[in-house]
């Protein structure tokens, strides 16, 4: 076809426009052919020998029971890894040392080390967006060198960190005051998704740390994420615009929810204090400084980050560092960055068998792709970590919920995992029944040695924290070992109740024990999970750093928004939707116009 077109063009004496078109068509054709060739030649991980070997190994593992595996002390000892105060115990996984060797071979086949190095070297591993993935640079010390596009990005990172330090000190000390001369003691951070969940997790965790409490005395940090007007009301109820600073956090500065919420709070401020007050009461965090200025925020009061920081990996950029520094002071937040950096160093340098994020990632792959357990429960025995699971849910599910390989080849296996969780012991009184006797859900138990706020009641056998941790230690064994009908018989349990009271056991979990929950350890925990998720994506051979799956819903919402406007303002009929949506929209419009 192309050749025919070429001949026809020649026949027409090749006018210049045809030449350009021909050149363009040839290039697209070559590009398309290259793509097909690339797709055809790309090897999926499931076609490699280590993957097939692990598939065969499943039968062998299915014959074992954790009750027996747990009695092998040497095995258990080999499945404990310690780094910088954190202890990982993965002896309650349905895995032997042989399984682990096979998983290391899988990592080799996936070129895991090479992929980690490429990430740290600033290569554009987010190929569908042509971007580097350098959240590690956000916590690098001043003297480190990490390149993107041949340029060391660490000085730029520190330029913004220094600006945040200075700005937050000005606000906290009261040298920057609001339009009416009052100290800005309250902050509302407006943002959604990655521009919200990470900062919320860290804030919730620091909020009960005694050192952080001292630094935050007299100050409040709130978040506004949902476009639901109720969230707006909740975020400003009881706040005085005169003493409030609004931080608009959006990587793109185009996210519909965030922009509407930002306009709503701009209105709140200008109605109360006059339009000129916005300059004193609103600042921004974004990669899009042009749109920040268009919105009416002085670019001097904007804190930049870069397109090599993915939204869900942005808590260590100004996205998290600014609101958290305003609340706790920069020095507390710096400790959080140092904790994350400690794990970054461990991740890039430790061998697979000693590398906590690599081990966690490989075990997830084992559970999801080989043992067929698609979900994972994240169970911190720490109320301060109540927002950890929601944050990891986004990092993991937005990163790894993909259906094609990084080369665009449909995956013949399911990637990604379903993450959910609640702090213990609350979860025990909610969904643990299913975990113990219903579906098999691998669990991450996260415990802390020293409570942020210990309580010792006179006359009690153990402290309140010991009580909490008793459950942290007991639950993994209940899942792994279970309880047999024979044991129940010996306990004289009524025969008809024996099936109901039997626990099959053999349910996998792992335990992470942190020394305490200060800013540094919170940073470590964050980085462990960020890297674990990257490991999973690297092994599955997907792009963990794009998120095209969120686009379709957004564009359909735009269509609905236009329709709602047209129907309400111009009485235009509902058009272009299927029967179901038309019916629902009609009901909504009729009922809400009463």
Spatial separation of the C-alpha atoms in residues 478 and 474, rounded to whole Å: 6
CB of 129 to ligand F6P, least distance (A): 11
Q: Which of 151, 159, 429, 565 is catalytic?
A: 429
| Cα 168 from chain centre | 26
- Look up 159 and say whether it is catalytic: no
The first and second tokens of residue 239, run together, are 């706040």
Residue 317 DSSP class: S
- Strand (E) or helix (H) holding 300: none
Spatial separation of the C-alpha atoms in residues 223 and 354, rounded to whole Å: 38
CB of 318 to ligand F6P, least distance (A): 12
CB of 420 to ligand F6P, least distance (A): 18
Residue carrying the six token digits 């579906």: 439
By CB under 6 A, the residues from 119 to 138 that bind ligand F6P are: none
CB of 392 to ligand F6P, least distance (A): 14
The first and second tokens of residue 560, run together, are 């609905």
Which backbone phi and psi does 80 adopt, to 5 degrees?
-120, 130
Q: Is 312 in the site for ligand F6P (CB under 6 A)?
A: yes
Judge contact between 66 and 508, C-beta under 8 A: yes
Burial code (b: 16+ CB inside 10 Å, e: under 16) for 386-413 equals bbbbbbbbbbbbbbbbbebbbbeeebee
The β-bridge relationship of strands 186-190 and 220-224 is parallel
| Segment contacting ligand F6P by CB under 6 A, of 37-45, 63-71, 186-194, 536-544 | 186-194
Q: Pick one of 192, 358, 397, 522: the residue that binds ligand F6P (CB under 6 A).
A: 192
Spatial separation of the C-alpha atoms in residues 428 and 448, rounded to whole Å: 18
Q: Pick one of 126, 547, 563, 567: the residue that binds ligand F6P (CB under 6 A).
A: 547
- Look up 102 and say whether it is catalytic: no
Query: Given the complex with ligand F6P, which of 86 and 284 has the nearer CB atom?
Result: 284
Query: Given the complex with ligand F6P, which of 398 and 536 has the nearer CB atom?
Result: 398
Q: Pick one of 198, 311, 442, 537: the residue that binds ligand F6P (CB under 6 A).
A: 311
Query: Given the complex with ligand F6P, which of 147 and 252 has the nearer CB atom?
Result: 252
Q: Is 452 in the site for ligand F6P (CB under 6 A)?
A: no
Q: Is 440 in the site for ligand F6P (CB under 6 A)?
A: no
- Look up 398 and say whether it is catalytic: yes
How many CA atoms within 13 Å lie on the side-chain side of 165? 11
CB of 193 to ligand F6P, least distance (A): 3
Q: Which of 242, 257, 398, 417 is catalytic?
A: 398
| Segment contacting ligand F6P by CB under 6 A, of 60-68, 189-197, 347-355, 476-484 | 189-197
Residues 6+ apart with CB under 8 A from 438: none
By CB under 6 A, the residues from 244 to 263 that bind ligand F6P are: 250-252, 255, 258
Judge contact between 144 and 393, C-beta under 8 A: no
Query: Given the complex with ligand F6P, which of 390 and 482 has the nearer CB atom?
Result: 390
Judge contact between 207 and 213, C-beta under 8 A: yes
CB of 314 to ligand F6P, least distance (A): 7
CB of 265 to ligand F6P, least distance (A): 15
Residues in the chain: 594
Please, is 155 exposed, middle or buried when counting C-beta atoms within 10 Å of its C-beta (0-12, 13-18, 19+)? exposed
Query: Given the complex with ligand F6P, which of 112 and 319 has the nearer CB atom?
Result: 319
The first and second tokens of residue 350, run together, are 């430790």
Site size for ligand F6P, by CB under 6 A?
Answer: 14
Provide the annotated active-site residues.
Answer: 398, 429, 554
| Contact positions vs ligand F6P (CB under 6 A) | 192-195, 250-252, 255, 258, 311-312, 398, 547, 550
């Amino acid at each position: 076809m192309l050749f025919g077109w070429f001949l026809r063009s020649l026949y027409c004496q090749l006018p210049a426009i045809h030449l350009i078109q021909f050149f363009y068509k040839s290039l697209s054709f070559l590009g398309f052919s290259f793509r097909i060739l690339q797709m055809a030649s790309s090897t999926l991980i499931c076609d490699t020998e280590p993957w097939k070997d692990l598939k065969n190994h499943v039968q062998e593992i299915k014959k074992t029971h954790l009750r027996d595996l747990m009695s092998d002390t040497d095995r258990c000892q080999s499945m404990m890894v310690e780094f910088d105060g954190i202890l990982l115990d993965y002896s309650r996984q349905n895995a032997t040392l042989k399984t682990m060797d096979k998983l290391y071979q899988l990592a080799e086949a996936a070129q895991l080390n090479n992929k980690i190095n490429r990430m740290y070297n600033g290569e554009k591993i987010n190929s569908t967006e042509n971007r580097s993935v350098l959240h590690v640079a956000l916590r690098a010390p001043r003297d480190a060198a990490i390149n993107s596009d041949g340029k060391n990005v660490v000085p730029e990172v520190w330029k913004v960190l220094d600006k945040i330090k200075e700005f937050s000190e000005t606000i906290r000390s009261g040298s920057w005051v609001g339009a009416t001369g009052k100290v800005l003691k309250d902050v509302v951070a407006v943002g959604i998704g990655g521009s919200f969940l990470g900062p919320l997790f860290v804030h919730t965790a620091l909020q009960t740390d005694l050192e952080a409490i001292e630094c935050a005395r007299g100050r409040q940090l709130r978040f506004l994420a949902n476009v639901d007007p109720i969230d707006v009301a909740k975020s400003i109820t009881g706040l005085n615009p005169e003493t409030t600073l609004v931080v608009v956090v959006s990587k793109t500065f185009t996210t519909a929810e965030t922009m509407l919420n930002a306009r709503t709070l701009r209105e709140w401020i200008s109605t109360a204090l006059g339009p000129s007050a916005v300059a004193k009461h609103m600042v921004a965090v974004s990669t899009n400084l042009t749109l920040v200025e268009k919105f009416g925020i002085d670019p001097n009061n904007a804190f930049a980050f870069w397109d090599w920081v993915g939204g869900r990996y942005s808590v260590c950029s100004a996205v998290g560092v600014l609101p958290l520094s305003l609340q706790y002071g920069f020095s507390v937040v710096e400790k959080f960055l140092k904790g994350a950096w400690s794990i970054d160093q461990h991740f890039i340098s430790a061998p697979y068998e000693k590398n906590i994020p690599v081990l966690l990632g490989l075990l997830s792959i084992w559970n999801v792709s080989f043992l067929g357990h698609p979900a994972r429960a994240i169970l911190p025995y720490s109320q301060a970590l109540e927002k950890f699971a929601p944050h990891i849910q986004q990092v993991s599910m937005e990163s790894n919920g993909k259906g094609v390989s990084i080369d665009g080849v449909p995956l013949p296996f399911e990637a990604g995992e379903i993450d959910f969780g609640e702090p213990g012991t609350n979860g025990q009184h909610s969904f643990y029944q299913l975990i113990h006797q219903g579906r098999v859900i691998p669990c991450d138990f996260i415990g802390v040695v020293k409570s942020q706020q210990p309580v010792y009641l006179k006359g009690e056998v153990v402290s309140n924290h010991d009580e909490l941790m008793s459950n942290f230690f007991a639950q993994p064994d209940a899942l792994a070992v279970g309880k047999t009908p024979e044991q129940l018989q010996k306990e004289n349990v009524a025969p008809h109740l024996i099936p109901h009271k039997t626990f099959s056991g053999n349910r996998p979990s792992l335990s992470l024990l942190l020394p305490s929950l200060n800013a540094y350890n919170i940073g470590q925990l964050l980085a462990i999970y960020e890297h674990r998720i990257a490991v999973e994506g690297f092994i599955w051979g997907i792009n963990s750093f794009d998120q095209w799956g969120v686009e379709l819903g957004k564009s359909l919402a735009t269509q609905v928004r236009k329709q709602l406007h047209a129907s309400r303002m111009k009485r235009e009929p509902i058009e272009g939707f299927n029967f179901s949506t038309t019916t629902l929209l009609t009901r909504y419009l009729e009922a809400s116009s009463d």
